[in-house]
Structure 1
Amino acid sequence: MLRQCLAIMRREVFYLWRDRGLRHILLFGSLLGLMLFYAVYSAQVLKDIPTAVFDLDNSAASRELVDKIGKAEYLKLVASTASYDDLRELIKQGKAVVGVVIPENYGRNLALGRQARVLAVIDGSNMIYATNASAALLTVTRTLSAQAGVSALVARGVQLQQAKDAYQAIDISEEAWFNPALNYAYFLVLALALNIWQQCCTLAACLNVIGERGMKSWLQIRACGISKFRFFASKSIAQIFIFMAVVLPLYILGFGALKLPLNCSWAALLLFTLAFAIAVHSIGTLASSFARNAVDAARFGMIIALPSFVLSGYTWPLEAMPVYLQKVAWILPQTWFFQGINYFAFKNAGWNLMAHYILAMLAIAAVCYGAAAVFIARS
């Protein structure tokens, strides 16, 4: 019996390797994705956001504000416009993402201790730029506001240090944990590469059952008296082994060469990934068991695999989605995996949480394999 299972597994590995297109997809798809995404996000944080200024005041105070904007860490002053329409056109053409309009009497209001309003125009068509630009501008204005407040108190006879203490009565100290530099590469690169990997694995698993029915060898296998359960169980073990073998170079390159953060142990990571590989394979096997042909099976698998990353809550919080979508998302193993990979790689969340996620993925796998077994038994 064991020898028979091993022979089926060797046969499955041979067939997967012989399929040149599928072999290249499994071997190189996720690796190329990892390198591509790392190159895209190699800057790690967004800097040099194009900024234009329209200064209606042209006072010493307004020029100081322009100078501060030009020296801001994440902003890059690209133009000083002569009109509001010119500023609008720059942003419309994509030459500037941020526009700062300094009104008349800006310097006079500051000198009199009055509130001085400045208009910040941000191109909201690119949310990544918009959120980073807003934070960068807020840092500049807070600094200048604090300086103006302190100067006003000093002008009233308050000692400099007392003025600083009075104006900064509450000192907020920000500290980012687990990703201190707020590095986009750390947050996105591995997840995007793993998304390609899971799609490739789903595509391969979709051939698990229907790929045999379309071959003449299927009649020979049935004539040998090999049970369907033993045959497809052996094939599944071989495919899951290949899925894990394919993800290993991805992890080694990501965590080793590219220095992506890994705070949990390798054993924990691989165990967690194995549970996900089993769950993904079960979905592909289920699609393969009731599909009429290999093309239909691949379509069913991709319908689930392609949108699952968006639904997983990795790039947009699950809590912000409609309730019905949240319920659908938690049915998918991709949600458990992509939510969990963040906890484990960044935070080393521990075995208690890991067990919950692993059991959820294995439960999904059991349901899918069970349904697939029913379809296979009827065929």
Structure 2
Amino acid sequence: MLILESDVIVAMKELAVKLKNIFSKHKEIILPVLMLLIIPSISSYILGYTYSAHSVRNIPTIIVDHDNSTLSQSFVKQVNTNEIFNVTNYSQSDDDVKNLIERGNVVVGIIIPKEFSKDLIDGKAPKMMIIYDGAQMSAVSSAKTRAAEILGTIKASYLIKVGEGKTGIMPAVAKNNVIPMQSNPIFLGNPTRSTANFILQGMLIGIAQIGIIILGVLIVKEKENPISLLSKSIGFGIIGAISILFSLIIQIKYFEIPYKGSIVGGITLTILFSIVTINLGVLFKLILKDKLSAVKNSSLIISGTTLITGYTFPLMAMPDIFKKLAKFIPFLYYGGSMRDLSLLGLNFNDILPEVYDLIKYLVITWIVMLIILAIKKVLIKRNLLKYKIAKKIVQRRRKYEIAKAHR
């Protein structure tokens, strides 16, 4: 029994030594791979927790009610009971709104003017002032939408009552007269209007693609075999895809981010995009030669692709030059397609054009890689030939000089 235990200990020590040697030999690649697998997953948890409510809530708000009428109190009550707002301060001074916003204590300030209710009844169209902290636009967007809804509800309610009082008609008829046209907005794919549902994917892919392109730079050796390099681009591309998919799975499983579309389609797009991104890193290294310079330039350029490709700001609203430039960026064919797969429930056939585009991109990057390697090989042979010729010339001169010295 003791002999068996000692054998196991020896075997474990030998394994530890082997693993240590492997790590020491390949740490330049192993560390970036580990970081690529770990950082996007950690980011997924952090961002998922941050956006777990799927919308900004409990926005610090101050209310200044100079009117104190039944109408103004009704508005204040609706703001108070709405999950978007968190009324932290009440005041009678308008200056408090500006001071608290500047200090960062509140994001929204609502000022109800004196005789607001009376002016409304008299048809003077009074104005309620709502002040926002322009430095926090995510919160402001939610607050503006909800404030408009509350004001719209109160306005409609008031007009219906006026209509009932002046004409003596039934409430339903008064409502139809006051609001002759109605709309019923439907948000396909994102009925909750959650910012997290469409922006988190892009943020996580953006984090992962920086790590993937850096990994592409690092896998290139000084004397690279073309077949080996193509194999590495596929292998490390799949590792990059695993990193992206794992971070997205965390969002879907733990933070209720929807994914309604084809799973095969999502995996296919992710693998193709990851391999293409690896290839771009390889090309940066082959062109720039210096590894540090390639890492800096590749990560800097790739980090801006989500902005240019219209993921956060519509491409249709951009200048024509950006629309043309976006066609050369792989994220254009991946980011939007993944978002549509998740929210609109597209099937594999719906994303076939993007799959073909990424395959074309993949083939082109492989061809360019092979061309650069072939050119480098020719240049190396030419330089080697020059070196040999120069060496022979030097040797002949030495022999001539030695022979001349003996005469």
* Fold shared per TM-score above 0.5: yes
Q: CA deviation at 1:171?
A: 2.5
Q: After superposition, what is the alpha-carbon deviation per residue over 1:72-128, rounded to whole angstroms, capped at 9, x for unaligned? A: 332222222222222211222222222222222212123335423212222222211
**Is 1:72 matched up with 2:82?**
yes
Structure 1 residue runs of 5 or longer lacking an equivalent are 1-11, 223-227
User: 1:220-275, CA deviations, whole angstroms, 9 ceiling, x for partnerless residues?
Assistant: xx8xxxxx332322222322233334444334433334443121222111111122
Q: Does 1:169 align with 2:166?
A: no
Deviations 1:125-153 (A, max 9, x none): 22112211111111111111111111111
Deviation at 1:201, TM superposition (A): 1.1
1:22 deviates by 1.3
In structure 2, relative to structure 1, the CA distance for the partners of 1:130 and 1:241 (3 Å cut) is: closer
**Alignment partners' CA distance in 1, 2:356 and 2:192:** 33
Say if 2:206 is the partner of 1:195.
Answer: yes
- Taking a change above 3 Å as real, the CA distance of residues 259 and 139 of structure 1, as seen in their structure-2 partners, is closer
The answer to whether the 8 A contact 2:119-2:125 is kept is yes
Bigger Rg over Cα: 2
The yes-or-no answer on 1:231 pairing with 2:228 is: yes
Please tell me the residue identity of whatever aligns with 2:253: G
Distance (Å, rounded) in 1 between the aligned partners of 2:279 and 2:52: 35
1:178 aligned partner: 189
> C-alpha separation between the residues in 1 aligned to 2:273 and 2:304?
17
**2:111 aligned with 1:101, yes or no?**
yes
Question: Which residue is 2:241 aligned to?
Answer: 244
Give the structure-2-normalised TM-score. 0.80
Cα separation, 2, equivalents of 1:371 and 1:189: 33
1:120 pairs with 2:121: no
Change over 3 Å in CA distance of 1:61–1:239 after alignment to 2: closer
- In structure 2, relative to structure 1, the CA distance for the partners of 1:172 and 1:120 (3 Å cut) is same
- Which structure would you say has the larger RCO, counting Cα contacts within 8 Å and 6 or more residues apart? 1
- The 2-side partners of 1:362 and 1:297 are apart by 24
Match of 1:152 in 2: 162
Shift of the 290–182 alpha-carbon distance from structure 1 to 2, 3 Å rule, reads: same
Which whole-Å CA distance do the structure 2 matches of 1:269 and 1:13 have between them? 33
Matches of 1:304 and 1:378, distance apart in 2: 25
Query: Which whole-Å CA distance do the structure 2 matches of 1:47 and 1:241 have between them?
Result: 38
Secondary structure of the corresponding residue to residue 131 of structure 2: strand
Whole-angstrom distance in 2 between the partners of 1:244 and 1:122 = 41
Per the alignment, do residues 151 and 16 of structure 1 end up closer, same or farther by CA in structure 2, a change over 3 Å counting?
farther
* Corresponding position of 1:325: 322
Residue of structure 2 in register with 1:7 after alignment: none
Aligned match of 1:49 in 46, 49, 59? 59
Deviations 1:46-71 (A, max 9, x none): 12222222222233332332223222
Give me the whole-angstrom Cα distance separating, in 1, the residues matched to 2:132 and 2:72: 19
Supply the distance in 2 between the matched residues of 1:258 and 1:101 (Cα, whole angstroms).
Answer: 37
Instruction: Note if contact 1:13-1:238 (Cα within 8 Å) is conserved in structure 2.
Output: no
| Secondary structure of the corresponding residue to residue 206 of structure 1 | helix
Q: Which one-letter code corresponds to 2:198 in the other structure?
A: F
Q: Are the structure 2 counterparts of residues 115 and 258 from structure 1 closer, same or farther at C-alpha, using a change threshold of 3 Å? A: closer
The count of aligned residue pairs is 354
Q: Which runs of 5+ in 2 are unaligned?
A: 1-21, 377-407
Deviation at 1:352, TM superposition (A): 4.2
User: Higher mean Cα deviation, 59-68 or 130-139?
Assistant: 59-68
Q: Which amino acid aligns with 1:22?
A: P
- Aligned-pair identity in percent equals 21
CA RMSD for the aligned pairs? 2.5
Tell me: CA distance 1:101–1:260, structure 2 relative to 1, closer, same or farther (3 Å). Answer: closer
Instruction: Compare 39-48 and 240-249 and name the one that shifted more.
Output: 240-249
Alpha-carbon separation, structure 2, partners of 1:180 and 1:14: 52
* CA–CA separation in structure 1 for the residues paired with 2:47 and 2:26: 27
What letter is aligned with 2:290? N
Single out whichever of 264-273 and 165-174 deviates more from structure 2. 165-174
Matched, 1:255 2:256: no
